[in-house]
Amino acid sequence: MLSRLSLLSLFAISASALSLNGESRPNIIIIMSDDMGYSDIGCYGGEIKTPNLDKLAANGLRFTQFYNTGRCCPTRASLLTGLYPHQAGIGHMTGDYGLPQYQGFLNQKCVTIAEALKPAGYRSYLSGKWHVTPKIAHDAPKNNWPRQRGFDKFFGTIHGAGSLFDPNSLTRDNTQITPENDPEYKPKGTWYYTDAISDNTVMHLESHFKEHPGKPFFHYVAYTAAHWPMHALPEDIAKYEGKYDEGYKPAYEARLKKMKALGLIDPNWTIPGPIGDWDKVKLKEWESACMEVYAAMVDNMDQGIGRIVATLEKNGQLENTLILFLQDNGGCAEGFGRGKLVGPLERPSAPTLKPMGKDELQTNMVPPQSRDGYPLRRGDGVMPGPPETEIGYGKNWANVSNTPFREYKHWVHEGGIATPLVAHWPKGITLKNKWAKDPSHLIDLMATCLDLGKASYPDGKIPVEGVSLAPTFTGKALERGKPIYFEHEGNRAVRDGEWKLVAKGVNGPWELYNIPADRTEQHDLSKKHPERAQKMAEQYETWAKERGVVPFNSWRKKKDKKTAASQKKVFHLKLGDTFTQENSPDVAKHAFSVIAQLEKLPAQGVIAAQGGTSSGWSFYLKEGQLLFTTRRGGKDFTVQAPLPSDSKGLLEAKVTKKSLILRSDNKRLAIKEGDHQLTSHPIDALEVGKDNGGLVGDYEENFDLNVPLKSLNITIR
């Protein structure tokens, strides 16, 4: 029999829960997918099976004009902080460009939603992709990892991209793990990252309901689906076999028809149509398979969202949980993994490489092999899906994903920044199966969480830029009072009421569109309404100046070009060495050589790099190739050659006034004639084993060398 004290304790817990419900403070779940287009999910026009998202939409609210920032890192920074990404310190990606707004990690002048809600009594959890710090290694400083930015539990990846069967920087709380040695999550079937994100979200929720009854929670669920590589489970791929065999046009037109029926497309808009010509596609089976696997990735994510919703329902929490679903940018037109064949076209009948150990951390964004020993395979004709493949779905399918909008991820035309936003909250959203049409943005999510969570924003931090979306939940209009702004890689835009001013690149001309009449951005009205275009351009310049936004790459021009370089002629270096601009080798107008001895092969990553996208050089290994790139005035010159299978790891690159030369074990591999010496001293410093900041070579960020380095010598001639 319970004692009187026990009964009183239980009553107090129940009263606490009722008090929270009485205040209408909801639990909050923000779910974000990766690299998906506006029309991909079913409730926004897509043919991909998303019954769980569709059900949330049918019983909630959908936004027609919600915007992200057009790229992964800045979107995450903006979502988490309620600020424009530059204000949070991530004006571009995770490179440090020497300005506070472009330092590449969340600064201390902002707070995350988790940090803001904690004093109001919320517990916070995160499953999935972080990608707001360059410090991703297991022994790196963790001051900007999730646990240090307000989250009570974290499972996911610190880095931004990687295998969905063996992701790099896989982490539980502050400890990096592998799919095989994770003490808490051991699925019965194949370990698959999208499933792992969904299942760990369920684990977090079940733990919360058991250990913290009566406390509200915030959960950020950041999927990497459907970001390349196109990895999916066979049973999910099978659902879409043959679905896209007719090519781009039928898929595009079917989406158009459905979007018109939904009321998302005005019949009077000019529709540009698909860009891809299916008749010119040589590898049709492979091309259609890329979209089949993409669809399977989205399908699996939706299944996981269904399990999350079922967990809320089982625990009696669905009614008072606000669920928001959105995407980090538009469809991705990057040609990742397409083109030249790397590795075998077909999967070998058995693994040909040594399997990775149970505790061997994955540190590569593009692993050279699967954990069980199958070699990397990528390029035209390699069927996507299996763990050792690395393929993207390409520009033409990205155009279908973005139906009917212009451009893609990276740009700030509608195809880059328009995202679905599905809002479901039975207790707080009175509208069902309706559209909210006010323009809104990621900056509004922090404001919404503060409003609904009855939380106070801390003093001394940069004020939140957005407005709460709560009025739309009951059919009221948003009262923003100011435009919404965009900038990424020089691509710029202003959204003010019905009007949008947009430009491509730092020097691209401004274009003006009336969005209700022309959301496909086909009829530029800047010459017809020059006064309006000028006024909005001035609004943009004022906003940019106030928030520290500068023209992309302009930070390089502001550096002192006369900064002295080291006068040393010979440098004996080791892995991890990092120099300043002043003590880096003086390579400007000089011949020089770089000689590296690796401890083992195969290898991948940057051996050494000096400089950035404007001026510099990089010596690196990528997909079995040895490469050396120099950059002058932003233009790159590269010499490359396959690394011999019998190489002993003694690698050399030589830059002269007449040529670029590559050698392995003192044997010439390749030569590129011409004067490729640098004409000015690079602003970015020399780094050994990595290339942070501006990237010199043809690789993504965090392309660190994945093997030990015995020695590295640089000699200035």
Which of 5-14, 321-330, 536-545 shows the lowest per-residue confidence on average (mean pLDDT)?
5-14
Instruction: Write the DSSP string, 607-665.
Output: EEEEE-SSSEEEEEEETTEEEEEEEETTEEEEEEEEPPTT--SEEEEEE-SSEEEEEET
For 59-73, give one letter per residue: b (16+ CB within 10 A) or e. Answer: ebbbbbbbbbbbbbb
Task: Give pLDDT, residue 675.
Answer: 84
Task: Give pLDDT, residue 634.
Answer: 62
Residue type, 335: G
Task: Give pLDDT, residue 693.
Answer: 62
C-alpha angle 147-148-152 in degrees, rounded to nearest 5: 30
Task: Give pLDDT, residue 442.
Answer: 98
The confidence band for 677, taking pLDDT boundaries of 50, 70 and 90, is confident
> CA 111, CA 80: separation in Å to the nearest integer?
8
Centre a 10 Å sphere on the Cβ of residue 303 and count the other Cβ atoms it contains: 17
Task: Give pLDDT, residue 96.
Answer: 87
The confidence band for 633, taking pLDDT boundaries of 50, 70 and 90, is low
Q: Side-chain half-sphere of 564: how many Cα atoms within 13 Å? A: 4
Q: What is the SS3 assignment for 305?
A: helix
What tokens appear for 559 in the block? Answer: 């550096």
What integer best gives the mean pLDDT of the chain?
Answer: 92
pLDDT of residue 702 exceeding 80, the answer is no
Task: Give pLDDT, residue 415.
Answer: 98
Backbone phi and psi for residue 118, each to the nearest 5 degrees, phi listed first: -55, -50
The residue ranking higher by pLDDT, 462 or 633, is 462
Task: Give pLDDT, residue 557.
Answer: 52
Which of 106-110, 150-154, 372-376, 695-699 shows the lowest per-residue confidence on average (mean pLDDT)?
695-699
Closest C-alpha to 159, from 227, 219, 112? 227
pLDDT, mean of residues 82-107: 94
Angstrom CA distances, 596 to 102, 327, 579, 669, stand at: 32, 42, 18, 15
Task: Give pLDDT, residue 624.
Answer: 93
Beta bridge partners, 478, equal: none
| pLDDT tens string 400-421 | 999 999 999 999 999 999 999 9
pLDDT of residue 343 exceeding 80, the answer is yes
- Which residues have CB under 8 Å from 234's CB, separation 6+? 385
| pLDDT tens string 354-386 | 999 999 999 999 999 999 999 999 999 999 999
> CA 225, CA 299: separation in Å to the nearest integer?
10
| pLDDT tens string 545-568 | 999 999 998 876 544 444 446 788
> CA 73, CA 69: separation in Å to the nearest integer?
9
> CA 352, CA 98: separation in Å to the nearest integer?
45
Angstrom CA distances, 656 to 437, 573, 631, stand at: 60, 21, 14
- Which residues have CB under 8 Å from 469's CB, separation 6+? 423, 436, 440, 444, 445, 447, 448, 478
Q: What is the SS3 assignment for 211?
A: helix
pLDDT of residue 45 exceeding 50, the answer is yes
pLDDT, mean of residues 597-619: 89
pLDDT, mean of residues 1-29: 48
pLDDT, mean of residues 646-666: 93
Task: Give pLDDT, residue 568.
Answer: 86
